[in-house]
Structure 1
Amino acid sequence: MAMSLSLARVALPPPLPQGAGPAAAAARKLQGAALAFPAKSFFGAPLAAVAAVSPAAAAVAASPLRRRPSSASAVVAAGKGYKMKTHKASAKRFRVTGRGKIVRRRAGKQHLLGKKNTKRRKRLSKMVQVNKSDYNNVTGALPYLKVNRNAE
C-alpha cells in the first residue's frame, strides 16, 4: 500500500554558518537535536510543548502517522450476524395490509378472459389473504416483512 503523505512538509535544518566561531560550534551541537517535523504538525497542532520532553520522544509523539490504541482490539468476536436476503420474486407477489395480514392476488386473471364472465373477473381482481398455514413459507422468503401473526 503506497503512502500518500508528502515528505515536502518535513522541515530541513537551517544551513550551518561557515566559520570556526562559537556560533558555528553551537549550531553544529544543536543540529542533532533539531525536530524532524515543522513547528506545526501535518494536522496543524503545535509541537513546541512536545519538543520540550526529549527530541526522540517528541518525534514519536508528534508524528501524524503515530498509531493510537484502538478500543476495537479489546472486542475480538463481536461480529454481526448474517444479513438475510429478500426473495425478490416473492416481494413482488405479496403485500402486507395495515393490520399486518399478508395478501396476494388470485390466480386466473392473466389470459383467456373472454370466456370468463364479469362477475368472475371482478372476483379474481380482488386481493385475498394468504392462508395461515403458508405464513411460514412467505415469511421465510421475506424475512423483513412486518407480519402480525395474530391478525384474523
Structure 2
Amino acid sequence: MAASTTMATTVFSLGFRTPSPHQAVRSATVPFVAKSTQSLNLSSSHTIRGLRPLVLPQAAAVSTSGHKTPSPMTVVCAKGYKMKTHKASAKRFRVTGSGKIMRRRAGKQHLLRKKNTKRRVRLSKMLQVDRSDYNNVIGALPYLKVNRSN
C-alpha cells in the first residue's frame, strides 16, 4: 500500500506586530512534504492533524492580474504560561462534589486537655469557606473546580 504525499506551502510570519498597509510583509515560504496518514509534529507537545492550522483572513493577497492567490497556511504558536498553585493553600482547602470550598475549623492543634469532648468533636468537622474569602482562595488555587454560585 503506497502512502500518498501532499505538497503544501507554509508561511511563517516573522515578527510580533501586524504591519501597516504601506509596509512590506516579510515572511519565509517553506515548501514541505507531509504524509496524509501521519500528523505534523511540532516542537511542543501539540500536533497539527490533517494540516488544518489557523489561517488569517488578511493573509490572502491579490495579485496584479486580479486573481486571488491561494491563501497560505500560517502557523501561529503562542505559548501561555501556567499559573502556579500555592501549595500551602492546596493542603488546607478541599472542594466538595457540588463545588463548595471546605476548610478545617481553627483551634484543634494543641491545648486539647482543657477543651471538653463536645467542643473537640465540633472542631473536628469541616466548614464551608465564607463567600467573602472565595476570591482569595481561588487566587491561590487557580485550577480548583469551584462552583461560584454556592
Which of the two has greater strand per residue? 2
1:82, CA displacement in angstroms? 1.5
Q: Distance in 2 between matches of 1:119 and 1:83?
A: 45
RMSD: 2.4
TM-score (norm: length of structure 2): 0.51
- Corresponding position of 1:141: 140
Q: For 2:119, what is the secondary structure of its paired residue? A: helix
Per-residue CA distance 1:43-98 (angstroms, 9 max, x = gap): xxxxxxxxxxxxxxxxxxxxxxxx9738879324x312121111111000000011
- What is the one-letter code of the residue matched to 1:137? N
Q: For 1:69, what is the secondary structure of its paired residue? A: strand
- Corresponding position of 1:84: 83
TM-score (norm: length of structure 1): 0.51
Q: Distance in 2 between matches of 1:82 and 1:69?
A: 30
> Is 2:37 the partner of 1:74?
no
Per-residue CA distance 1:122-152 (angstroms, 9 max, x = gap): 110000000001000000110000000112x
Moved over 3 A (4+): 70-74
Q: Distance in 1 between matches of 2:105 and 2:31?
A: 62
| Number of equivalent positions | 85
Per-residue CA distance 1:10-29 (angstroms, 9 max, x = gap): xxxxxxxxxxxxxxxxxxxx
| Unmatched tracts of structure 2, length 5 or more | 1-29, 34-39, 43-72
Larger Rg: 1
For 1:1-150, list aligned pairs within 5 A. 69=32, 74-76=74-76, 78-150=77-149
Q: Distance in 1 between matches of 2:106 and 2:133?
A: 16
